[in-house]
Amino acid sequence: MLWSFIAVVFSGWLFVDATYRGPVWQRWLFKPVTLLLLLALAAQTPVLTPAGYLIILGLVATMVGDALLLLRDERIIYVIGAYFLSYLLYTIGFASQMTFSVFWPLPILLLIIGAALIAVLWQHLAELRWPVCTYIGMTLLMVWIAGEHYFARSSDHSLSLLAGTGFLLISTVLWLVSRFRYPFNAARAIIAASYFAGHFLIVRSLYF
């Protein structure tokens, strides 16, 4: 099992490094390879619960979105749809494991983040306004459910979920901002690192 974790981390590092300074083929190769290794790691879970199956399906949806990103820009709405589905599957998996309670500072903070992000992007989204807003809402809901899971249980499992969704939120915010409003040179590497760390920590939660 240790070697599986090492393989995932090494492949993920090659993917992140490629987004910053490597050739395009290296980025295109190691992104799907890293996700396939994450799928294999999730499938090796000693006891695969329904939540585990939903996480696996979420990874598959993410891979579909990544593949669509390689196509022309008019496919972006399908990319957003695939990522939305991935986060929806993750959220259902998280919710199936928890007793619901509300830690109010968390949803308030997430609403502020969502409102600020939409305000920054709104004038630049054109016909993608509502798909992007829906995607942002799904991302925030995923983080909220993971956060409530953590505040209710405070376990290693729930901490890994919260950290993973937090990284995916960072990745989503930076991807949308850099794509639609403020492109910047370091965006690719930061997005790649957050993206990989988020999915890795969510899969890692299956081992607690």
Residue 136 confidence class, pLDDT cut points 50, 70, 90: very high
What is the per-residue pLDDT across 151-191, written as a single tens digit (0 to 9) for each?
Answer: 887 788 888 999 999 999 999 999 999 888 887 777 788 88
Are 199 and 59 in contact by the 8 Å Cβ rule? The answer is yes
d(CA 132, CA 135): 5
Closest CA to 173 of 160, 187, 153: 187
Between 22 and 117, residue with greater pLDDT = 117
Backbone angles phi, psi at 100, to 5 degrees: -75, 130
Of all residues in the chain, what percent carry a pLDDT higher than 90?
36
Instruction: Name the residue type at position 90.
Output: Y
Return the pLDDT at 14.
72
d(CA 109, CA 27): 34
Between 34 and 62, residue with greater pLDDT = 62
d(CA 120, CA 96): 34
Provide the H-helix boundaries in 75-186.
Answer: 76-95, 105-121, 129-153, 156-180
The two structure tokens encoding residue 10? 């090494």
- For the beta carbon of residue 149, count every other beta carbon within 10 angstroms: 25
The mean pLDDT value for 117-128 works out to: 89
For the chain, what is the mean pLDDT? Answer: 84
Return the pLDDT at 22.
65
pTM for the full model? 0.89
Between 102 and 67, residue with greater pLDDT = 67
> Which of 35-39, 129-133, 191-195 reaches the highest mean pLDDT?
129-133
The two structure tokens encoding residue 191? 């997005």
What is the per-residue pLDDT across 54-98, written as a single tens digit (0 to 9) for each?
Answer: 999 999 999 898 888 877 665 788 899 999 999 999 999 888 776
For tokens 């300074």, the residue is 21
Return the pLDDT at 25.
64
